[in-house]
């Protein structure tokens, strides 16, 4: 999830569809993104904590992550991380705290992909199977509330059995005057109508210097829902902060349809949100 979030915060050339390819083979996880490439400040950010390039920039209010903390989470599953981007080619190891913060210039162990930023993780043995399983279960709804990333390709080469390739993608229609946005997620081909609601923070709290917040609600809108005579599903849905966070127990929100909730801020108290949605 952290690497998906980072990919969503990258800068992409206008002519490119923001795309990420995740390749797993036993012991290794490789991530390729077709972003414009690491700047010096990007490299400094992943070598620091509390110094993200997202903080203080115009991009900051739109970025998903902050604090430069997230990338370090890769060391929870990996003991060596290689990165190549543009003319950069370096690695981190998980040997000591210093090695996690100070990069070492290193040749990328595999063939780099032209015009891509590539990250290669050597996985701890006890995380190997878990990472493979998580990739197999990765659902297209992970793209639902992301800002830029349009496509995730997943290639899994398990130690036994045939390789698995999946393409997760979304297609976003331009918003109409009502503020509704239609999203179509593949491969399940489920359309969603996303409604964005802007509001002033009820507690006056500011997040990233802004008191305005946006809550977005997504409703599956496939035609079979309208013609179904069965009771609508009332299953709990995940709460998102761009990416799925956890199940807080929200069900249907004044609607026949299950919904996804996104909090673009951590600030609104959950009790308040619960009151709004009941």
Partner 1 sequence: MPEPDPTPAHARGRLRGSRLSRAKRLAVSDDCSPDTRLNARTGKRQKVSGDSFPVLAHPGIPQSVSEAQQHIAAIRTEKGVDNAGTFMKDLGAAMDLYDSLPPQCFPIEKS
Where do contacts with partner 1 occur on this chain (CB under 8 A)?
Answer: 1, 11-14, 36-44, 47-50, 59, 61-62, 67, 69, 86-90, 97-98, 101-105, 107, 111-116, 147-148, 172, 174-175, 179, 181, 196, 198, 210, 212, 214, 245-246, 264, 266
Q: Which is nearer to partner 1, 11 or 159 (CB)?
A: 11
Q: Which is nearer to partner 1, 12 or 24 (CB)?
A: 12
Residue 224 Cβ vs partner 1, minimum distance, rounded to whole Å: 27
Within 237-277, strands assigned E span 238-241, 243-247, 260-263
Residue 235 Cβ vs partner 1, minimum distance, rounded to whole Å: 20
Whether the Cβ atoms of residue 268 and residue 213 lie closer than 8 Å to each other? yes
Residue 258 Cβ vs partner 1, minimum distance, rounded to whole Å: 21
Q: Which is nearer to partner 1, 158 or 191 (CB)?
A: 191
Residue 28 Cβ vs partner 1, minimum distance, rounded to whole Å: 17
**How far apart are alpha carbons 212 and 204 in whole angstroms?**
9
Q: Which is nearer to partner 1, 89 or 277 (CB)?
A: 89
Q: Which is nearer to partner 1, 59 or 234 (CB)?
A: 59
- State residue 68 phi and psi, 5-degree precision: 65, 20
Contacts for 49-56 with beta carbons within 8 Å, 24 or more apart? 49/101, 54/9
Q: Please give the structure tokens belonging to residue 235.
A: 């299953």
CA dist list (Å): 1 to 75, 99, 148, 176, 180: 14, 23, 15, 30, 26
């Amino acid at each position: 999830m952290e690497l998906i979030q980072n990919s969503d915060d990258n800068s992409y050339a206008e002519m490119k569809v923001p795309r990420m390819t995740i390749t797993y083979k036993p012991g290794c996880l490789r991530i390729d993104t077709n972003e414009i490439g690491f700047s010096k400040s990007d490299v400094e950010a992943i070598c620091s904590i509390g110094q993200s390039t997202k903080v203080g920039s115009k991009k900051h209010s739109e970025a998903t992550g902050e604090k430069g903390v997230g990338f370090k989470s890769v060391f929870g599953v990996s003991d060596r991380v290689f990165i190549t981007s543009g003319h950069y080619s370096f690695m981190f190891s998980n040997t000591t705290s210093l090695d996690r913060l100070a990069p070492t210039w290193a040749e990328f162990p595999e063939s780099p992909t032209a015009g891509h930023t590539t990250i290669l993780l050597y996985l701890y043995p006890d995380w190997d199977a878990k990472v493979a399983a998580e990739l197999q279960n990765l659902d297209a709804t992970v793209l639902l509330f992301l800002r830029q990333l349009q496509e995730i390709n997943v290639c899994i080469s398990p130690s036994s059995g045939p390789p698995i390739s999946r393409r997760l993608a979304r297609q976003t229609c331009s918003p109409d005057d009502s503020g509704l946005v239609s999203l179509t997620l593949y491969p399940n081909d489920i359309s969603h109508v996303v409604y964005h609601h802007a509001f002033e923070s009820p507690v006056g709290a500011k997040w990233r210097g802004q008191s305005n917040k946006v809550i977005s609600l997504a409703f599956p809108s496939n035609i079979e829902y309208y013609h179904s005579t069965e009771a609508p599903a009332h299953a709990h849905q995940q709460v998102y902060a761009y990416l799925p966070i956890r199940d807080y127990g929200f069900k249907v929100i004044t609607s026949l349809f299950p919904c996804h909730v996104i909090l673009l801020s951590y600030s609104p108290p959950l009790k308040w949100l619960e009151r709004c949605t009941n």
